[in-house]
Amino acid sequence: MSNEKTDWWVGFFVLLGLVALSFLALKAGNLNALSFAPTYSVTAKFDNIGGLKVRAPVKSAGVVVGRVSRIDLDNKTFQAIVSLDIQQGVNFPVDSSAKILTSGLLGEQYIGLEPGGEDINLQAGSTIRYTQSAIVLESLISQFLYSSADKQGSQNPTPNTGIKGER
Amino acid sequence: MNLSDKITVLGRKTNICLVTLGLFAQFFLTIIRRSSIVFKRPRLVVQQIHFIGNYSLIIIAVSGLFVGFVLGLQGYYTLNRYGSEDALGLLVALSLTRELGPVITALLFAGRAGTSLTAEIGLMKAGDQLTAMEVMAVDPIQRVLAPRFWGGVIAMPLLAAIFSMVGIIGGWIVGVALIGIDTGVFWSQMQSGVDVWKDVVNGVIKSFIFGITVSLIALFTGWRAKPTPEGVARATTLTVVAASLAVLGLDFLLTALMFSN
């Protein structure tokens, strides 16, 4: 085979490989999803972050506006410090609140931002003051069990009357 | 045979293992050191990419397509049981980019390109062509081995990427075109779950390392083959066995390193 023909086939092969790589990066991966968009970072403190992970989405009204960039533990207050990278150009008032929510019943956890009413906006490095922790299923269930046990106890103030309370 | 003889045999075998390993490492360093020819005469490498890459293209693409089909079907059966067949795209893409793409490509590469490299070098050696080169003051490592090594190293990641792409398309054909999952959900689930750096780039790094491993083993066994027809046959078999085992073992190590958290 002549040199030129070989070159053509090799060029074709390399091109195909590069197309495949960009297909994997752009179509299968999330490179086009605000990876290179400029962001600013704000922090929020939570009592409990549940199963929140780094790179989890930050959503406002269901629209992805940023991602969780890092999660640390404050060793004085024993709260989780979550850093959020929010897209440049999306501004939130300083009294906005952050909640940790779950998509679907067993889905991924994400941070939901709810805008407040102040005129001043969050700046890079500022802290979101109003936060709501993740709902941990176990504590929810135990709370429910305790409260229902409490109720039963108050309904039957004198259980030792010889007859067992109907159940 | 008494105990002391057995211990001697064990010691000799250990010695041979260690010497072979040392020669292998030395061989690797020698090839790297004499790789300047890649820039001086790139045509040699281009020819090898053509020989190694282009000729493996068909088998890689067809295998990728069928692996994608099977992943689509099996994934659908299992996910359907939990009512989460929307995640099929994610399953297909993750398993291909992280594991199946690099590993199956490397195994096919060992069988398709590695054997031909070994046989070629071994026959060159059997026909005293390598010695003839040395007589003519042409360094066979530089002229014959280095271009083949770099050809394999360049071709392998590209082949693995093509494998993954064709596999994802195969999964799409089964999941969306045949079974009828919504195409938007298929892609959006995939895009939300596949991370470019963690999954795609790590897959490419894996295939790059496999390319180095397989090419090097193929060349080494050919280089060390006994210059007889039987020796070349043995070396070719050894290439497939050793390269496959090395790829699978390395894959476990790399996966443990890359996706540990």
- pLDDT tens track for B173-192: 999 999 988 888 888 888 87
pLDDT for A165 equals 47
Q: What CA–CA distance (Å, rounded) separates B68 from B62?
A: 10
Angle, nearest 10°, between helix axes B202-223 and B115-126?
20
CB-CB contact of B105 with B161 (8 Å): no
> Is the C-alpha dihedral spanning B177, B182, B188, B192 positive or negative?
negative
Residue B68 lies in a domain: yes
Residue B84 lies in a domain: yes
Residue B5 lies in a domain: no
Q: What CA–CA distance (Å, rounded) separates B256 from B251?
A: 8
Residue B21 lies in a domain: no
pLDDT in tens, B90-117: 999 999 999 999 999 999 999 999 999 9
pLDDT for B260 equals 74
pLDDT for A54 equals 78
How would you classify the pairing of strands A109-114 and A127-128? unpaired
Q: What CA–CA distance (Å, rounded) separates A16 from A3?
A: 20
Helix (H, G, I), strand (E, B) or coil at A106: coil
Q: Which of A1-10, B56-65, B197-206, B212-221 has the lowest mean pLDDT?
A: A1-10
Residues of B in contact with A3 (CB under 8 A): 43
CB contact under 8 A, A13 and B196: no
Q: Determine contact: A18 vs chain B, CB below 8 A.
A: yes
Q: Is B130 exposed, middle or buried (0-12, 13-18, 19+ CB in 10 A)?
A: buried
CB-CB contact of B95 with B71 (8 Å): yes
pTM: 0.76
CB contact under 8 A, A55 and B194: no
Q: Which of B44, B99, B162 to mutate to test the interface with A (most CBs of A within 10 A)?
A: B162
Q: How far is A107 from chain B (nearest CA, A)?
A: 11
Residue B25 lies in a domain: no
Classify the complex by whether its ipTM is higher than 0.95, answering yes or no. no
Tell me the CA distances in angstroms from A73 to A42, A50, A63, A76, A132, one per residue in order. Answer: 16, 13, 28, 9, 16
Q: How far is A117 from chain B (nearest CA, A)?
A: 32
Residues in chain A predicted with pLDDT less than 70, given as ranges, are 1, 30-36, 104-107, 155-167
Per the structure, how many domains does chain B have? Answer: 1
pLDDT for B250 equals 94
CB contact under 8 A, A14 and B168: no
Residue B125 lies in a domain: yes
Helix (H, G, I), strand (E, B) or coil at A52: coil
Question: Phi and psi (nearest 5°) for A131?
Answer: -130, 155
Residue B23 lies in a domain: no
Q: Determine contact: B50 vs chain A, CB below 8 A.
A: yes
Q: How far is B227 from chain A (nearest CA, A)?
A: 29
Structural domain span for residue B226: 34-258
Residue B236 lies in a domain: yes
